[in-house]
Amino acid sequence: MGITKVTVLGAGSMGNGIVQVSAQAGYEVTMIDVNGDALAKGMANIQKMLDGGVKRDKITASDRDAAMGRITTATDFSQASRADLVIEAVPEDLELKKELFKQLDQICPTHTILATNTSSLPITSIAAVTSRPAQVMGMHFMNPVPLMKGVEIIKGRMTSPQTMETGKKFIESINKVWVEAVDYAGFIASRVLDVMLNEAVWCVMDGNKPEEIDKAMKICTNFPMGPLELIDMAGADVLLNVMEIMEKEFGDKYRPAPLLRQMVRAGHVGRKAGRGFYDYSGK
């Protein structure tokens, strides 16, 4: 069965980005979040991104309006009952995700594919709490979703080839490129990238200035953004969480830098807090 209706759980930066690209591709999309304020903020962000596309002549005003018209919002998970595909984009908490997938398993039609946007957690563990593990897969979008081309797709131990094929076709239909990764902590992108980001934090602990580390990586390795700038954008708390998951899975070489833990304890997690490796309080 083809996908026409998509439901996204979570209205944060990842969730509303997935909603935007799905709506732009012609899908009917429902964005669900238990927090009404988060939904309003998510819709405002989508509007802002689409308005920006119009100003840059990337899309037309009619394209923008059509995309916005395909989006509905809800605070009740029961609205997922019409979905052909559900993409969960809530915080990286395995028990939270398991609980949501148990609920979705009861709510959604038998044909519905359940996907998780996790960047590090085991797809197989999430799938195991449902009665349809063959229809559970990972879809790890990159941040910011509207701008980043790649999406990791992950096959759990019980995910069917048909589910993977449908997932691949969906990714292609929203003008993204899929990369297939094995179901181990961190998959490919996070496992490689986050180790580098963590190493940049160790470099700060060694006495290097954050701006010099970022400058070195931008001018010496042609990175578009420095690693510490990227941590501030994504959130030091997000990096710490992924590193802890990978340390538990793979051992000490993935140990988070002590400075990273200290920053999270202080609430200095980046742009969203107004302070990380750089000060954003005046912005």
Is residue 239 assigned to a domain? Answer: yes
Q: Are residues 200 and 145 in the same domain?
A: no
What's residue 103's pLDDT?
Answer: 97
Q: Are residues 106 and 241 in the same domain?
A: no
**Cα–chain-centroid distance for residue 250?**
22
Over the stretch 229-246, which tens digit does the pLDDT of each residue have? 999 999 999 999 999 999
CATH classification of the domain holding 126: 3.40.50.720
Does residue 135 surpass a pLDDT of 90? yes
Q: Are residues 11 and 129 in the same domain?
A: yes
Does residue 134 surpass a pLDDT of 70? yes
Is residue 45 assigned to a domain? Answer: yes
Over the stretch 236-283, which tens digit does the pLDDT of each residue have? 999 999 999 999 999 999 999 999 999 999 999 999 999 999 999 886
pLDDT tier, 2 (very low <50, low <70, confident <90, very high otherwise): confident
Q: Which two tokens stand for residue 283?
A: 């912005």
Mean pLDDT in residue range 114-140:
97
Is residue 164 assigned to a domain? Answer: yes
Mean pLDDT in residue range 75-95:
95
Q: In what order do the strands lie in the sheet with 71-74?
A: 71-74, 28-32, 5-9, 85-88, 113-116, 136-141, 150-155, 177-181
Q: Are residues 201 and 62 in the same domain?
A: no
Q: Are residues 159 and 210 in the same domain?
A: no
Is there a contact between 102 and 88 (Cβ–Cβ < 8 Å)?
A: no
Domain boundary among 129, 163, 181: 181
**Proportion of the chain above pLDDT 70, given as a percent:** 99
Does residue 153 surpass a pLDDT of 70? yes
pLDDT tier, 45 (very low <50, low <70, confident <90, very high otherwise): very high
Backbone φ/ψ region at 175: left (φ over 0), alpha (ψ -120 to 50), beta: left
Over the stretch 186-229, which tens digit does the pLDDT of each residue have? 999 999 999 999 999 999 999 999 999 999 999 999 999 999 99
What's residue 87's pLDDT?
Answer: 98
Is residue 26 assigned to a domain? Answer: yes
Q: Are residues 118 and 218 in the same domain?
A: no
Is residue 282 assigned to a domain? Answer: no
Is residue 283 assigned to a domain? Answer: no
The Cα-based distances of 111 to 23, 136, 153, 244 in angstroms read 21, 11, 19, 35
| Total domains in the fold of the chain | 2
Containing domain of residue 262, as a range? 190-273
Does residue 1 surpass a pLDDT of 90? no
CATH classification of the domain holding 259: 1.10.1040.10
Backbone φ/ψ region at 88: left (φ over 0), alpha (ψ -120 to 50), beta: beta
